[in-house]
Amino acid sequence: MHYLFRFGQPFETGALLEKPEIESGEKLKDKADLHFDEKLNKWILRFDLKDTDVVYGLGEAMRGINKRGWEYISDNLDDWSITEDRRNLYGSHNFLILQSDSSIGLFIDTPEKVRFDISYTRQDEMIIEFGLDTDVLLLEGKDPQEIAMEFRSLIGQSWIPPLFAFGFGQSRWEYATKADFEEIARLYDELDLPLDMIYMDIDYMDRYKDFTFSKEFSDFEKFVEDFKKKKLHLIPIIDAGVKKEDGYAVYEEGVKNNYFVKMPDGKTDFVGAVWPGYALFPDFFNPEAARWFGNQYKVLTDAGIDGFWNDMNEPALFYSQPGMDELRDWLKDYVKKGPEAYEMFALENHVGAIKNSREDYRLMHHQVDGKWISHEKLHNLYGMKMTDAAAEAFKDLRPGLRTLMFSRSSYIGMHRNAGIWTGDNSSWWSHILLILHQLPALSMCGFLYSGCDLGGFGKDTTRDLSIRFMQLGVFTPLMRNHSASGTRRQEPYQFEHPEDFRHLLFCRYRLIPWLYSEYLKASVNNTMLFSPLSFIWKDDEFAREVEDQLMIGDEMMITPVYTQNAKGRMVWLPESMRKITMKPDGTILQEMMDAGHHYIAYPENELIFFLRKDAILPLAAPALRTADIDFDHLELIGAPKGTYTLWMDDGQSIDASVTKRVLVR
Ligand code: GLC
């Protein structure tokens, strides 16, 4: 059952494909404790929480699988210090499930800020604070799994990427020359390391100008072709900001046609600084501007590119022109004061506040149905709008074909067109656990194609951390090693015993037929790809407490190691399960284990996971490219007898029909 309550006149986000009958917001009072706070000028939705209640959801967010114990704010933000105290990240996914005696789901559909106080102010309370113009979807169901499925059916089917996107990708913000890219391909091949994608960060462009190439890549098409011959896909980045530079066609065309975000006067272009220096921001809310920007991808698709990552689309603002002018004046006064009067914190705060400033978001204006609306009112939709604009354009640029695309910033609805990566994580052990916590929450919100920067983006990695990241990454649809410029290099061959990385990559490629099949099932049936254990073992109270194990589909459980120097970890088996160990020599050990707690040794050169006792798992022979995986000859492991229904399609066309093959053991 679900109900949609409308407050004020919400902006149509497009998140819900199926719009239930709309009831007035006041009616929500019949279902929950709701009041209007005059001082805050916000609606407050309040729930009592029992000790045993669990709150799941919020997609890309901080903290645990159970969201209790923190405050979360939907306010898409570029900040690459993803510490435990953060309240907002790059995406806003305002869907949660409260599991109590019965379960309810809530989706707060608004592009504006929403505050979720989940046992933060008071342990026994959940408070959701939202603005005057908001749709609230309430779902009632028997259990969280059922509610998640119902929500997914309302937001529409999750995007299906091309098959190659399930291969491995190597990335680093520093690869700038042809030789850099050629070296990766060469070293991967020399070391027999499986690879499908090499990512091109901003240095392929001419001074960070979208849809241009540096001199190095003046014959880009030929360059792409050479990689294609090696069955490798080059995946360039596209940033939201368009460099302000006379003579740059994209800039000039956008200015001429009023395609960029404006100042409040509706005439002057808003100017903010990002990687290219001063830049203008396409107004994706203006359909004509969105169409125009989407069509710019043509330079790349014409050159044979079939995948993209959209970045800086919160949008990130290092500072704005008005903000910098104001700071300059302030600093002049500050310096005049002399050392005795310097206030260190004032200086720090004033300079720091120039980044991603609210004031700037207030200044930015979009053209919506002929009216000017402040960006602040629409903020959380901007990244989705950029990505949707590209997806729309691909229909003409690559007719009938799927294009790999994922975005940093997102809102629910974008899951129908693209995936996400979880932004600038760090080479920290806690960030292995963070992605593990985010995956089931992302599944609830439809973002099935997702993953984090394996090895960690910021800071210096270590070999063991990279390996442990990979042992989890083997199971994430997006499996990419990416790192920041200036950090320790982290390609597999930078470390001793690259064969351990090779083994994990071979395991991934062996699992691709299964992973792809599970992905298709989750997308078509609106089911969870990753779930908390409690979604499956619904009546088991301990299952609600498990924060470091996940189910993939209905039958596989993963138990990654996330602490340094650990040689293994404690694992809880909710029932008797089969432990699968993929050894480096290619052998596979299968061992039934009893329900309960076990210490499981987990060496760095093995892949370990668990299957339910009747489950059958298909494995392909190891391959170096997804295109070389032999889907026709799959080895079946797991239960001595049983079947697995393998879902498959052609892996590339949009309307591909799914074939279902029953594999019998
Ligand atoms: C942002 C992205 C990161 C990228 C960098 C340079 O920080 O999140 O992935 O490498 O910009 O483009």
Whether the ω angle into residue 315 lies within 30 degrees of 0, i.e. cis, is yes
| pLDDT of 383 above 90 | yes
Tell me how far the alpha carbon of residue 312 lies from the centroid of ligand 1, in angstroms: 8
Looking at the chain, the whole-number percentage of residues with pLDDT higher than 90 is 97
Tell me the C-alpha distance between 64 and 430, whole Å.
11
Tell me how far the alpha carbon of residue 300 lies from the centroid of ligand 1, in angstroms: 19
Tell me how far the alpha carbon of residue 217 lies from the centroid of ligand 1, in angstroms: 20
Report pLDDT for 339.
82
| Mean pLDDT across 120-136 | 98
Tokens 């609306």 sit on residue: 373
| pLDDT of 430 above 90 | yes
Tell me how far the alpha carbon of residue 311 lies from the centroid of ligand 1, in angstroms: 7
| Mean pLDDT across 258-276 | 97
pTM for the model stands at 0.98
- Which atom from ligand 1 is nearest to the alpha carbon of 172? 10
Residue nearest to atom 7 of ligand 1 (CA): 424
> Bridge partners of 135?
6, 109
| Mean pLDDT across 300-311 | 98
| pLDDT of 337 above 90 | no
Report pLDDT for 192.
98
Tell me the C-alpha distance between 198 and 172, whole Å.
9
Report pLDDT for 630.
98
| pLDDT of 18 above 90 | no
Q: What are the pocket residues of ligand 1 if the criterion is a CB atom closer than 6 Å to any ligand atom?
A: 80, 173, 201-202, 237, 311, 408, 423-424, 482
Report pLDDT for 340.
83
Residue nearest to atom 3 of ligand 1 (CA): 424
pLDDT tier, 624 (very low <50, low <70, confident <90, very high otherwise)? very high
Residue nearest to atom 10 of ligand 1 (CA): 173
Side-chain-facing half-sphere of 193: CA atoms under 13 Å: 24
| pLDDT of 607 above 90 | yes
Q: What is the DSSP string of 121-186?
A: SSTTEEEEEE-SSEEEEEEEESSHHHHHHHHHHHH-PPP---GGGGSEEE--TT--SHHHHHHHHH
> What mean pLDDT value characterizes the chain?
97
Report pLDDT for 438.
98
Looking at the chain, the whole-number percentage of residues with pLDDT higher than 70 is 100
Tell me the C-alpha distance between 159 and 524, whole Å.
10
Tell me how far the alpha carbon of residue 308 lies from the centroid of ligand 1, in angstroms: 13
Per residue in 575-606, pLDDT tens?
999 999 999 999 999 999 999 999 999 999 99
